[in-house]
């Protein structure tokens, strides 16, 4: 494991947040043609090729590690890629994107709470304050406050999204269970271990008549979108996220998930949309929270030994 570097970890987390923010924009036309279950299966089928190559080239005996930890890797992979991915997309179909952004932003607080309840680690004031500040900013960015209209199944959609976020929190915590795996190995091996289950679930749901399998006429128009989603938000962003979590820890690392809706907002501005004033204030709050979390994660400098003490030790040894 490389020495802790909070600044490299911050850059990696920001890259992941921006990449996942783009997923909402690039993935929107895909959801019009693919059911979320098949969307998730095709996404990780394409990404699995790249992940397998990366793990084979840069990993250290990855297939032996896969055999040794296959139960844990399968479980965490299904939670992080299948459970989370499908439920969040299903929830967004029934609810509003702004609600999904707010619920995604609860993951840092959920991580802190689980770590407190399950591990007995009470969060520090700086990290806890950053989580609350970031959540407040995301609420303002989303525009949830003051909204009275919405689809008829809004509450069900929100419940599915909230349930799905627990899967990603569990996946994030799972990296600590296999410390001998690098961030790249954990990313790739969990995805590969979960892939057969995702394809099998999609095939079973199709055979049961719950969903329809996509045809070539569905895949061809969105092929560039799928390739981008598989390469950037799925492979590169998850590797960067797991690197950041390994460096900063899960409580601090998941704070950067609040940057996902903010990055989506800025991309919308680039596409010609004009956000309201409260959205800009919310974005500023999230940026402040990320700054606070970075400072809280920076290791304190160790003071140099006092010369007098060092001289006494040398004299004693002589």
Least confident of 43-57, 105-119, 165-179: 105-119
Q: How confident is the model at residue 315 (pLDDT cuts 50, 70, 90)?
A: very low
- Identify whether the C-beta of residue 146 lies closer than 8 Å to the C-beta of residue 276: no
- Average pLDDT (274-283) is 71
**pLDDT exceeds cutoff 80 at 101:** no
The count of residues in the chain is: 318
Question: Is residue 125 very low, low, confident or very high in pLDDT (cuts 50, 70, 90)?
Answer: confident
Q: Is the dihedral of CA 94, 96, 102, 107 positive or negative?
A: positive
The pTM assigned to this predicted structure is 0.74
Longest CA–CA separation in the chain, Å:
83
Q: Which residue did the predictor score with more confidence, 129 or 207?
A: 207
Q: What number is the average pLDDT over the span 64-91?
A: 93
- The better pLDDT of the pair 176, 285 is held by 176
Q: Cα separation of 199 and 316, whole Å?
A: 68
């Amino acid at each position: 494991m490389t020495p802790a570097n909070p600044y490299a970890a911050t850059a990696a987390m920001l890259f992941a947040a921006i990449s996942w923010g783009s997923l909402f924009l690039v993935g929107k036309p895909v959801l019009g043609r693919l059911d979320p279950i098949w969307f998730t299966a095709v996404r990780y089928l394409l990404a699995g090729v790249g992940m397998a190559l990366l793990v084979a080239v840069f990993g250290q005996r990855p297939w032996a590690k896969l055999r040794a930890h296959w139960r844990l890797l399968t479980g965490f992979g299904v939670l992080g890629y299948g459970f989370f991915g499908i439920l969040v997309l299903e929830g967004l179909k029934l609810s509003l994107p702004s609600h999904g952004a707010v619920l995604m932003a609860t993951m840092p607080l959920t991580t802190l709470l689980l770590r407190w309840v399950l591990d007995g680690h009470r969060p520090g004031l700086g990290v806890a304050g950053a989580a609350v500040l970031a959540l407040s900013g995301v609420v303002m960015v989303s525009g949830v406050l003051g909204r009275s209209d919405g689809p008829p199944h809004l509450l069900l959609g929100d419940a599915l999204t909230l349930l799905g976020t627990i899967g990603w929190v569990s996946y994030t915590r799972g990296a600590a269970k296999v410390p001998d795996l690098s961030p790249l190995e954990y990313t790739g091996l969990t995805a590969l271990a979960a892939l057969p289950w995702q394809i099998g679930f999609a095939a079973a749901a199709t055979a049961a008549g719950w969903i329809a399998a996509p045809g070539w006429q569905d895949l061809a128009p969105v092929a560039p979108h799928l390739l981008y989603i598989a390469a950037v938000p799925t492979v590169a962003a998850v590797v960067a996220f797991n690197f950041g979590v390994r460096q900063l820890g899960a409580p601090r690392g998941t704070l950067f998930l609040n940057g996902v809706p903010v990055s989506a907002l800025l991309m919308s501005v680039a596409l010609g949309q004009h956000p309201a004033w409260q959205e800009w204030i919310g974005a500023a709050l999230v940026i402040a929270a990320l700054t606070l979390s970075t400072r809280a994660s920076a290791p304190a400098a160790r003071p140099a030994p006092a010369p007098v003490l060092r001289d006494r030790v040398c004299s004693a040894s002589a």
